[in-house]
Structure 1
Amino acid sequence: MIMKSKKIKLIMFEEKFGLGGIETFITNVLSCINREKFDVRLVTINKATDQYDSLFKKLDIPMVVLVPDVEINPIKRFKKGLPAFKTYLKQHISPDTIIHFNVSNSIDLLYVKIAKSKGIKVRIAHSHNSSATSNLKKLAHKMGMILLANTPNYYFTCSNLAASWLFPKKVLKNQNYYFIRNAIDTKKYQFNISKREQIRKKYGWTDNLVFGEVGRFNKQKNHKFLLETFKEIVQKRENAILVLVGAKDCLYDDIKSYAEELGIEKKVIFFGKTSKVADLLQAFDVFMLPSLYEGLPFVLVESQAAALSSLVSNTVTDEIKLTKYIVFDSLKNSPKEWADTAIKLTSVAREPDSTSLIKEGYDVNSMVKNLEQLYLKFYRENN
């Protein structure tokens, strides 16, 4: 059955909907988009979390999960997902529907290829990542870039690094190529001293020096280096604790065991997944992100809105430095050197001011208005 509406029909697509920056982007957009102009839904092959279910219910936005198997590896997900997506488009979606594909690598463009074959007129590929964790994945990605680069007809990116990762040079010169900021609700994250004290008291951190990190427990986030750095911090600051925020998946058990191996397990709090990241950023003294690679991390936009000093690996694009609160360091430096820098950052004063973020286009309301204008432009160009 074809979706019927006088509104512009829009699908937000992600191959696997879990907990991360892409999901933050999608939910931010769907929470703010003009529902009088757009008929929206989320389509995903597989859903790895129920954390956003209540939000979608509140917004009254359909979440379509095509392969609902809870435990499914990437190969099986593609094997089941590609035909399921093809069938879904054939049975439910009209050609004038805009599909906004949120992707991490070129293999995800196979879904864009299906949309093209089914006559979908507006196919947006949005790059959110900048590398992969293995040489095999990188090789597959390069092949995908060559074979699938022409399947979208519009191209979005969150950063220059993310653009060069997914799109060939000819695309980067394309007039249908656009920067879309990883924008946030700046008011939600703005630093508040009273709130900070309240949250630290709630968790029993009043007398602690709190270092924090938010992210999945995977190779990309480089948790072992973070733990080694924190061990050096503890040797100089006995009241230090490290709060790791993220779902208990992927390398969680390995990271927990490594904390025990280093003898710092009593100082490391595995906080689990939470929707209260904005609160935790108030409570932290320093945020740390020694990632091996990133697109343009949402969490660093959030940490800057919270006026929280953040120590970040220089593999992360310098486009993320929107305020004085971002400090880069090289992963070639030792954990001891990182620890020394992190300790120095604890003395940086926090000044609540989101002006620079808003000026640079990182306020979600401005970003969504820009997106709406682009969707309307694309629709008119193709219908």
Structure 2
Amino acid sequence: MSLEQMDKQKRKKVLIINDPLQYGGSDLVAVRLQQHLDPDKFECVYCLRHDEIGPMESQVAQSGVRILHQPDTACSYIKSYFFYKRLLKKEPFDIVHCHLLFYSGIALFAAKRCGVEKRVAHAHFSQPMRKIRNPVIRFVKSLYHVVMRGFVSFVSTDIIGCSQAAGEYLAGRRGFRRKGTVLNNGIVTKQYYLNETVRQNVRASLGLNHKIVLGHCGQLHDVKNQMFLLDVFHSFHRRYENSALILVGDGQDRQQLERRIEQLQLSKCAHILGFRNDVPQLLMAMDCFVFPSIHEGFPLTLVEAQAAQLPCVVSDTITPTVKLTEALQFASIEAQPEEWVKKIETALRIDRHTISRDRVVEDFDIARVCKKLEQIYLRK
């Protein structure tokens, strides 16, 4: 047996189950964790739900990581169970790490039946993505959540939450207390250190010289409350005509948001940039980060914004533990846009260079976060 074959035998084989890899959010968390695991200890393979090719997939594949797809025709709960069971029988894995919230229960049940020793469910959200108005559907959905919390807790060996609330949303309070670990959303902190040359170059490339730039990163989805953000910017722009808004991200609400930008006559100063792979540089170009989400788990984008020494104004529905610097302020999503404008004005008076990144580096640097994940993978 060659040395290379012996090394492969020593490594733990990890199956990462996820949706198509988009830039940002939980997909970016999953990819960063995989990329910073010790390659001498772990060999990773992705299994992505659906046939869709996400924008990050080619980047991951180029790094030499193997990617499998669960076809659209095999994505019902019953078909999913048999799909994962066939996969795990054909190719043994030591660890299955699933990022699909309650759907994780199906994949991890198959893993349990196939004798996989380490089965990890990873929670990235603390509430449902959409509010359900129909009381019957809401009751059925609530019942489903109760059943699946117990099921996920039963089939998992470990439950990871990006926050305590996210872990309890996935596995229930008792389940998370028994099997849970809070694992911070890690970033490569050195990439976000404020660089004035980069800042000025990005602003020039976007035509934002001499502008007050408000920014936002996130999937274009109603839970992110970007319609309200446009109302806030509309009020702000009436006071400061030399202002601009950049929205980094894409999603199902894009056309609706573009129509709203036209209605508010903001087309020359509010820009949707789509998915980008230069988020650290874009954060440097901003003057204030505005994040009015209706709810979140522990948003990665707020870790990134604070790592870039960017003053932030965020909704008070987000966990208070997201405050990593003194330059983050909370505002009520029940408040009028003018109240948010006042908070933004306060934020703009802060000198970014005085904002300390110490806590971000200490608690959220990806190298430290991955060491903790490796301990979870290896513990009995």
Q: Give the match's secondary structure for 1:165.
A: helix
- 1:287 is paired with a residue of what secondary structure? strand
Q: How far off its partner does 1:321 sit?
A: 0.7
**Counterpart secondary structure, 1:149:** helix
Q: Give 3-state SS (helix, strand or coil) of 2:10's partner.
A: coil
Q: Deviations over 1:64-93 (max 9, x none)?
A: 1122x5xx9xx9665654433232222223
The answer as to whether partners of 2:162 and 2:297 remain within 8 angstroms in 1 is: yes
Task: Write the deviation string for residues 14-57 of structure 1: whole angstroms up to 9, x where unpaired.
Answer: 14433332111112112211111111112211265543234323
Specify the code of the residue in structure 2 equivalent to 1:211. Answer: L
- Structure 2 match to 1:204: 207
| 1:93 to 2:86 alignment | no
Q: Which whole-Å CA distance do the structure 2 matches of 1:204 and 1:80 have between them?
A: 50
1:141 to 138, 145, 148: 145
The Cα of 1:148 is off from its aligned counterpart by: 3.6
1:331 aligns with 2:327: no
| Structure 1 residues 1-383: aligned runs within 5 Å | 5-46=9-50, 48-67=52-71, 78=77, 81-94=80-93, 97-103=94-100, 105-132=101-128, 133-135=130-132, 136=137, 138-139=141-142, 140-174=144-178, 176-247=179-250, 249-351=251-353, 353-359=356-362, 361-377=363-379, 381=380
Question: What letter corresponds to residue 112 of structure 2 in structure 1?
Answer: K
SS in 2 for 1:265: coil
Give the AA of the match of 1:226.
L
String of CA shifts for 1:230-279, please: whole Å, max 9, x gaps: 110111110111111112x3111111112222222322101111101111
Matched residue type, 1:225: F
Q: 1:77 to 1:246 in 2, by over 3 A?
A: farther
Amino acid at match of 2:214: F
Whether the aligned pair in 2 keeps the contact of 1:20 and 1:215 (CA below 8 Å) is yes
In structure 2, distance between residues paired with 1:374 and 1:161? 19
Cα RMSD for the two superposed structures:
2.1
For 1:77 and 1:244, how far apart are their aligned partners in 2? 34
Aligned residue type for 2:153: A
- Secondary structure, in 3 states, of the residue corresponding to 1:17? coil
TM-score (ref. length: structure 2): 0.90
Q: Could you tell me the percent identity over the aligned residues?
A: 26
Matched-pair contact (CA < 8 Å) for 1:45–1:77: no
How big is the shift at 1:336? 1.5
> What letter matches 1:365 in structure 2?
A
State the 1:99 CA deviation. 0.9
Letter in 2 for 1:102: H
Structure 2 CA distance for aligned equivalents of residues 146 and 197 of structure 1: 52
Q: Is the 8 A contact 1:210 1:283 kept in 2?
A: yes
Task: In structure 2, give the amino acid aligned to 1:305.
Answer: A
Cα pair 1:17 1:47 within 8 Å, conserved: no
Contact 2:158-2:180 within 8 A present in 1 as well: yes
- 1:97-151 per-position Cα deviation (integer Å, ceiling 9, x unaligned): 1111123x32332222222222222111111101111334752323322444311
> Which residue identity does 1:12 align to in structure 2?
I
AA aligned to 2:252 is C
Q: For residue 257 of structure 2, what is the amino acid of its counterpart?
A: I
Partners of 1:51 and 1:220 lie apart in 2 by 22
What amino acid is aligned across from residue 306 of structure 1 in structure 2? A
Asked if the contact 2:22/2:28 (under 8 Å) is kept, the reply is no
Structure 1 position 5, deviation (Å): 3.1
TM-score by length of 1: 0.89
Task: Mark the runs of 5 or more structure 1 residues left unpaired by the alignment.
Answer: none
For 2:221 and 2:53, how far apart are their aligned partners in 1? 16
**Which deviates the most, 205-214 or 38-47?**
38-47
> Judging changes above 3 Å, is the alpha-carbon distance between structure 1 residues 277 and 229 closer, same or farther for their aligned structure 2 residues?
same
Structure 2 residue runs of 5 or longer lacking an equivalent are 1-7
Give the distance between the partners of 1:51 and 1:301, measured in 2 at CA.
22
Residues 47/206 of structure 1: CA separation in 2 closer, same or farther (3 Å cut) = farther
Aligned residues: 364
Contact 2:243 2:269 in 1 (8 A): yes
Contact map agreement 2:325 2:357 (CA 8 A) in 1: no
2:122 alignment partner, SS class: strand
